[in-house]
Amino acid sequence: MTEQNTQSKGREPWIHLYGLTLAELRTWLEEQGEPGYRAAQLFDWMYKKRVTSVDAMTNLPKALRNVIRERARLVTMEELTRQVSKKDGTTKFLFRLFDGATVETVLMRHSYGNSVCVSSQVGCHMGCQFCASTLGGLVRNLEAGEMVEQVLACQRMLDQEGQRVSSVVVMGSGEPLENYGATLRFIRLITADEGLRIGQRHITVSTSGMVPAIRKLAEERLQITLAVSLHAPNDEVRSRLMPINRAYPIAVLLEACREYWEKTGRRLTFEYALIGGINDRLDQADELADRLRGLPCHVNLIPVNYVPERRFDRTPRRQVEAFRERLERHGISCTVRREMGADIAAACGQLRAGYELTEA
């Protein structure tokens, strides 16, 4: 029923409070011999006042606070590093988790609000050739409470400015749909009325193309946005860039995407990282448009991030615009992603990889 820490080393399991729904917290409190109505008070401290210590919960009996300290955890992450872009205010955090693993979170400031990019795994093993987060492989899945904590850490920072988190993108390190249960629980927790109340339509979940999970997600009938990492117009190029394509070729992936659209009514986003000399020719834009024709979607073009270990060349800006214009000429909705945090290595995996290199 509850999200219990099962990955602790040499410790008794404990309950992560941010991994619980209000109903689950009520049940847990009753199991501890406490009245269930205390759950609403506890949630108020967690999500409205956003305290970081049980000691601050002054309207809870001392005995209950002792129970929580002994058998549960509130904040389980420690901030190791915070980098702020001088160009656009993007803030990148590196957190240490309870078991010593590290994970990144990025707060992005837009004209339309503040967005948090959340990681779903420590590391990643999908093997995408242009991504830094996959370099060290997968360490473990994140629990839903650890994902919630990432959003709350950013919200606490914004509280000092009288602002709030308006949207969440699960596009940090990891493949969210491989960590399906925790990702779904995370969505339900941050959208709850008694929690952060972030609307489903302000949440985007990214996937490298795990077809069975896409079909499963479609059955949830959520109103989130699904962003599919496509990055190539054909199987030959995509299989070179993304090993998952060997299991789920483009035709199979797009069939699942169409099913997702039919069952949710939500337009899909396709992420397309432009890599010089590999997937950025105009005839490849034509091929991509043919693939996507008839599918309600939007293409997000992304000039590839520089990753020293990969040595990919960036597509020149003029070619990026030509690629965009060619897609639009075919009737494909398309934009070029605004670069944010370029001066602080804000792309997923870069800060964590640099930190672990210095610690080695």
Name the residues annotated as catalytic: 104, 348
Supply the DSSP string of 22-52, one letter for each residue.
HHHHHHHHHHTT--TTHHHHHHIIIIIS--S
Partner residues linked to 225 by β-bridges: 204
Give the residues across from 268 on adjacent strands.
Answer: 297
What distance in Å separates the CA atoms of residue 230 and residue 57, rounded to the nearest whole number?
47
Q: How far is Cα 265 from Cα 254, in angstroms, rounded to an integer?
A: 15
190-229: burial string, b at 16+ Cβ within 10 Å, e else:
bbeebbbebeeebbbbbbbbbbebbeebbeeebebbbbbb
Single-letter amino acid code for the residue at 42 = L
As a whole number of angstroms, the distance between CA 64 and CA 70 comes to 10
Rounded Cα gap, residues 265 and 257, in angstroms: 11
What is the Cα–Cα distance from 157 to 19, expressed in whole angstroms?
21
Residue 91 dihedral angles phi and psi, to the nearest 5°: -120, 130
Q: Which of 269, 116, 77, 121 is nearest to 198 (CA)?
A: 116
Question: How far is it, in rounded angstroms, from Cα 10 to Cα 237?
Answer: 46
Q: How far apart are CA 259 and CA 103, in angstroms?
A: 33
User: Distance between CA atoms of 16 and 14, rounded to whole angstroms?
Assistant: 7
- Phi/psi of residue 139, each to 5°? -95, -55
